[in-house]
Amino acid sequence: MNQTVPTDSGADRRRFFRIADTVSLRFRALTSAEKQLWLENELNLEPDQEARALNAEISTELERLKQYSPELSTIAGLLNQKLDQLSESASISLDAGFKHDYRTMNVSLSACGIGFPVAEPLDTDVILLVDILMATDNKRVLVTGRVIGCDTLSFPGPHGHKYMSRVNFERVEENLSEELIQYILQQQRRILAAQRLAEEEKELVALRPE
């Protein structure tokens, strides 16, 4: 069962730090089957590439085990196949069902939620699967969230975006929450460093003789 971040008053205040950022993003509503797994806290959001890397490592270790004990290697391989079947039944196909591919957009991001533009208003309380590629390293983040509001934009944006959706992340694993916090802090430091550099250059220009 996934370990989730506590939601009591003692939760880390860093989760609420928010930045304006540019990311590549796509989203969709959970299917009825996925929502049932989500309600049971059994929806596997592990990105496929991580699963493939883990399977490759397991295969390597099974080959090493085979040199010492073919019987144990066979048993371990069968157990791994069984676990794969159970994992597939729980994770379903998270890459299916997206209406659009990743789109680059300006967002408001924190470790507890995200605001992003959409073309059509989203219904409140809908549970979304949000798939994000982070700006700095293209790291993929898969997270579920609940729509808490959708406001009309003053001016339409790219891709026919007319609304700003507001989504609270829910059932986020603790390690992913910490990764989001570190990413946000890193981006904040970059923004502050760029601002300081711009101010220093402005001062140098002002000091130059005409």
Please say if the pLDDT value at position 11 is more than 80.
no
- Per-residue model confidence as pLDDT tens digits over 33-43: 888 888 887 78
Question: Would you kindly state where each structural domain of the chain is located, as residue ranges?
Answer: 13-44+94-192, 50-91
- Per-residue model confidence as pLDDT tens digits over 84-126: 655 554 445 677 788 888 999 999 999 999 999 999 999 999 9
Is 46 or 70 the better-scoring residue by pLDDT? 70
Strand partners, 133: 24, 140
Query: Is 29 within 8 Å of 130 (Cβ atoms)?
Result: no
- Per-residue model confidence as pLDDT tens digits over 120-169: 999 999 999 999 998 777 788 889 999 999 999 998 888 889 999 999 99
- Per-residue model confidence as pLDDT tens digits over 157-201: 888 899 999 999 998 888 888 888 888 888 888 888 888 888 878
The CA distance from 190 to 196, in Å, is 10
Please say if the pLDDT value at position 66 is more than 90.
no
The predicted structure's pLDDT at residue 9:
45
Please, what CATH class does the domain formed by 13-44+94-192 belong to?
mainly beta
pTM: 0.67
Which amino acid is present at 32?
A: S
